[in-house]
Homo-oligomer: A and B are copies of this chain.
């Protein structure tokens, strides 16, 4: 018998999630059945969507991607020693039924073998070569359709998704401006190739952006929302494209009474902007695999730097999660078990 642990959300989040909103549940795993594998989880992801997405009313298992090692197997496709990527939440051991088909509507059903990472850390498979990387790649390229020479703005630029978007934009020949929440992040973003990074906590956002993008903004990749995002949208050019992939500034708000920001309808009209929400859950898995392939190619060639912010220990998952929500991470926040 294997003892497993998992995090259960037992109380709906109100503002920033509290430690007592979670319970760590210990339970015994039954013997595996035909078609099943027992996975020892090695890396667990903490992402903004976990603040937002409830698979069902409390109590519920918090969703999350992980990389794990198959330690017992009754599935020829996943023999012992295989490394897999799945979406089974914050757990240390998990039994997965490999015969259960993947379904877009079943958020916990993703399962695939770890992609070839050419010696780079396996954790990339839940970061720059996983869901966040694919969100950056598909959200930016499909929705914004950037052209070389255009000016791209990214908010949450030092996060898992934003830092990848900015680098993809550079690969595509764009000028890239990133917004982040500290001078250290600004420094790092300029090191990895952003043409300009701006600390939104200290800068006069409107003026700083006018100086950084004197010809206006063509593409906007928004992870943050709120007034910063509105100010950027007001500086977009005719026919500009905006994609909203996160809205982290709102996640801890009361959704029935969200804050106000400068109205957007007017610039949307005046500049014939297209602003679109994007969720990777809308993209089929094959398109995500295409993105993973392209992203890992860029990582191997050194064109894409995939920084990770690693926390160690199953017990630290809550801290890693809240730290990420507070913006403490540079790049992708992951937890090593």
Contacts and interface: CB of A to CB of B under 8 A. Distances in A.
A327 to B, nearest CB: 17
A272 B261 contact: no
A264 B222 CA distance: 12
A230 interface: yes
A275 B268 contact: yes
Given A247-B266, A275-B276, 14 more contacts: A225-B269, A227-B263, A250-B263, A250-B265, A261-B263, A268-B275, A268-B277, A269-B277, A270-B277, A272-B276, A274-B274, A274-B275, A274-B277, A275-B275
A245 interface: yes
A271 interface: yes
A133 interface: no
Contacts of A229: 263, 265
Interface stretch (A185-193, A211-219, A252-260, A300-308): A252-260
Interface of A: 52, 222, 225-227, 229-230, 244-247, 250, 255, 258-279, 282
A51 B196 CA distance: 37
A21 B264 CA distance: 28
A322 to B, nearest CB: 20
Nearest to A229: B265
B272 A226 contact: no
A242 B247 CA distance: 19
